[in-house]
Amino acid sequence: MTAREEILARIRAANGPAREPTEIDAAYAAIPRDYRRAHHDSEQRDDIVALFAERAADYRATVEPVPEADLPAAIARAVTGKARLIVPDGVPEAWLAELPSATTIVRDEPPLSARELDAIDGVVTGCAVAIAETGTIILDHGPAQGRRALTLVPDFHLVVVRADHVAPDIADALARLDPSRPHTLISGPSATSDIELIRVEGVHGPRNLHILVSG
């Protein structure tokens, strides 16, 4: 017997014979879900965006509300002092219009090695979805977000969250995603509490997370 057959046989010995798929799906659908899929009123857009900003800031990320028209200036301010920025495909050119002349824009073409990425000072991205309840940003690594390594290796991550990205709760955020894509959920800068359970921000992931919330 292969390991697969044996494990399945042991499970059936413990549980009784496998049930029909339709029966299992019906039992699954009947699982009581009395929790609230929404903790916040999705009609109150301003409140939800404000809640996101507040909760993201709780993790000691830098969070700035910025009117759409002021984004280029806000981005330029945020990246001051960063010599080399990597910018994934799909980031609007307008965002980069006011970058300081000392800042070089690097593209991931051909794809940079991990060592090369390590020599980059920061990354500028958009996001797929954000969660107000938990102050979380979700990347699906599609347009304007880049492959996963781009937002992992450089030490500074500037992310633009538009108001319409913000979902009130975990449930509606997950429902907006395509599960076949890779995803990264980000709640604040990297952190550890492994020494005496005291929280220290900045371990292996970007030590600085800067979020611009634009209207």
Partner 1 sequence: MTTPAGATPAPNGSMPTYLGMPSFPSAARTAVADSQLRRNLTHATTAIRAKRANVVRELDDWEELRQAGKAIKEHTLANLDTYLLRLEESVTSAGGHVHWARDAAEANAIAIDLIKRKNADKAVKSKSMTTQEAGLNEALAQNGIQAIETDLAELIVQLGDDLPSHILVPAIHKNRAEIGDLFRRTISEAPGDLADDPPSLTATARAHLRGEFLDAKVGISGANFAVADTGSLVVVESEGNGRMCLTLPDTLISFVGIEKIIPSWRDLEVFLALLPRSSTAERMNPYTTIWSGVANADGPREFHLILLDNGRTATLADETGRQALRCIRCSACLNVCPVYERAGGHAYGSPYPGPIGAILSPQLRGMTSPADASLPFASSLCGACYEVCPVAINIPEALVHLRARAVQSQPHYPERIFFSLAASILSSPGRMAFAQRLGSLAGSAVARRKGRIRRLPPPLSAWTDTRDAPAPPPESFRAWWSRTRGGAR
Q: How far is the CB of 99 from partner 1 (least distance, A)?
A: 26
Q: How far is the CB of 180 from partner 1 (least distance, A)?
A: 6
In the complex with partner 1, the residue whose CB is nearer, 45 or 181, is 181
Q: How far is CA 179 from CA 24, 35, 140, 173, 182, in A?
A: 22, 23, 9, 12, 7
Q: How far is the CB of 152 from partner 1 (least distance, A)?
A: 5
DSSP assignment string, 5-51: HHHHHHHHHHH-SPPPHHHHHHHHHTS---S-S-SS-TT-HHHHHHH
In the complex with partner 1, the residue whose CB is nearer, 73 or 148, is 148
Q: How far is the CB of 86 from partner 1 (least distance, A)?
A: 15
Q: How far is the CB of 192 from partner 1 (least distance, A)?
A: 5
Two structure tokens written together for 56 = 């993201």
Q: Are strands 156-162 and 208-214 parallel, antiparallel or unpaired?
A: parallel
Stated as kind and residue range, the H or E segment containing 56 is helix 45-58
* Residue 201: Cβ-neighbour burial (10 angstroms; 0-12, 13-18, 19+): middle
In the complex with partner 1, the residue whose CB is nearer, 2 or 101, is 2
In the complex with partner 1, the residue whose CB is nearer, 37 or 84, is 37
In the complex with partner 1, the residue whose CB is nearer, 102 or 195, is 195
